[in-house]
Structure 1
Amino acid sequence: MITTRHLLITGTAALAAFGVVGCSSDGGSADRSGSSAARDVVAYHADYPAYDSLDAVIEESDLVVKGTVVNSRVERMLPETSADGDPATNPQAGLSPEELAEARAEAEADPVVVTVSTVKVSQVLAGDVSVGDTVEVSQLGGTYKGVTYKERSTTALAGRGTEYVLMLADNGARNPYDLLNPEQALYTVGSGGAVKAVSGGGFNNAGRIGQLADRTHRISAR
């Protein structure tokens, strides 16, 4: 059975849309095989910010790195359930304890599932990390408790030695990074250093990794 959930991503990336008050891991790496072990499929439909050019993505990125995935895990993200704050920014502001408990139960029954990949950095194009560091990158989707969650524009990071260029948004010290856009901010590095978009929604003028590094340095220096 396939069901569809609509998620409006109004910030720079997926994690920015949710206040994390709890998460749990499925254990081990994310299951991207699409095997029959999954009982159901939930199809996310997320609206991401779109950019007019590769330069615009680079300019908005907090971190641009080349690296490979060394580990991954699946987590569920629960929207914050708090009666505090401004009703303009928190729809639950002013709810009674009983109403908050009901909202929390609904969130736990229908969580947002993400895959968090640990990426080892082999080249820094922009941002405050070093070669050899690891960064965590969150993407919508994954297999959690027998249910596969998929977002149509998201290509899950592979852990088979594939080299990626990632253009990332910083969500704070306790949260993973996110791609600014799942298609426009994700590229592979192939033979001879050629940088290619993972899907047709990305930009095809990235060139080779050395050219992209020079381009990124110029943009970051503006």
Structure 2
Amino acid sequence: MRPHLLVRAAGALLLVAAAAACSADTDRSDAHAPQNVLYRADYPSYTSDDQLFERASLVVQGRVEPASKVVRLVQAAPQGQALPAPVEAERREGMVVTVRTVTVSRVFKGDVKPGDVVQVKQLGGKLDGVTYSEEHGVPLLDNGQYTLFLETYPDQPASLLNPVQGQYLVDAGNGLRSLPGNEITTSVNRLDTLADK
């Protein structure tokens, strides 16, 4: 088990632990290098679409483009706080994220317009032969139509407020479907009403 690291994403402090599964081939020199890394994060949860809408800095509907990139984001050191050496090493190593491009078709909240693209990051991805995944994470699908509740940042891609509650699949009739585990329902009409408040 690797040390814990506090990182900022979607407006909350997340406790992230990476568990590495070692290779079964002990004759190789990299036998102890992780092949799979599991991130565990504690996101805020919400009880209504009002809360999601209020908390989000950007609420959009759009299509996820097929191209994505996997990068390592290195977190800035907390100001005025010394971290234990193993945690500092983890911070410097950074978190692996997949960055997706969403072409916006409708804006409910935020400073974008239809036709704009928004970069959205999610924990996990495959980098340098290692598969990183988030425990309870639900990756956005290529060409999927979604309504997303996001927090934006000046220096990095946006984040879902919650990996399950922050994304709604858009069906053929423009209805919004909650993911399994998300009991909050909403609709385009409801989001229009919230936007008009």
TM class, shorter-chain normalised? Answer: 0.7 to 0.9
Shift of 1:204: 4.1
Take 1:78 and 1:10, find their aligned partners in 2: how far apart are those partners?
11
Take 2:58 and 2:135, find their aligned partners in 1: how far apart are those partners?
24
2:108 is equivalent to residue 125 of structure 1: yes
2:15 is equivalent to residue 12 of structure 1: no
Can you list the C-alpha shifts for 1:47-74, whole angstroms capped at 9, x where unaligned? 0111121210111111100011123110
Shift of 1:124: 0.6
Q: Compute the TM-score of the two structures, normalised by the length of structure 2.
A: 0.77
Where structure 2 has 5 or more consecutive residues not aligned to the other structure, the ranges are: 15-33
Q: What is the aligned residue count? A: 178
* Amino acid corresponding to residue 142 of structure 1 in structure 2: G
Shift of 1:197: 1.6
Q: CA contact under 8 A between 2:10 and 2:150: conserved in structure 1?
A: no
Shift of 1:11: 5.3
Q: CA contact under 8 A between 2:57 and 2:150: conserved in structure 1?
A: yes
* Amino acid corresponding to residue 119 of structure 1 in structure 2: V
2:37 is equivalent to residue 42 of structure 1: yes
Q: CA contact under 8 A between 1:54 and 1:184: conserved in structure 2?
A: no
* Amino acid corresponding to residue 53 of structure 1 in structure 2: S
Shift of 1:78: 1.8
2:193 is equivalent to residue 215 of structure 1: yes
Take 2:174 and 2:73, find their aligned partners in 1: how far apart are those partners?
36
Q: Which runs of 4+ in 1 moved over 6 A?
A: none
Matches within 5 A, 1:30-179: 40-70=35-65, 71-80=67-76, 85-87=79-81, 91-92=82-83, 103=88, 107=91, 110-159=93-142, 161-172=143-154, 174-179=155-160
Local SS of the residue matching 2:101? strand
Q: Compute the TM-score of the two structures, normalised by the length of structure 1.
A: 0.69
Q: CA RMSD in A?
A: 3.0
Q: Give % identity.
A: 36
Where structure 1 has 5 or more consecutive residues not aligned to the other structure, the ranges are: 18-38
Take 2:183 and 2:148, find their aligned partners in 1: how far apart are those partners?
13
Local SS of the residue matching 1:192? coil
Take 1:156 and 1:129, find their aligned partners in 2: how far apart are those partners?
23
Shift of 1:103: 4.5
Taking a change above 3 Å as real, the CA distance of residues 217 and 4 of structure 1, as seen in their structure-2 partners, is same
Decide which structure has greater strand share.
2
Decide which structure has greater helix share.
1
Aligned residue in 1 for 2:165: 184
Q: CA contact under 8 A between 2:165 and 2:184: conserved in structure 1?
A: no
* Amino acid corresponding to residue 75 of structure 1 in structure 2: V
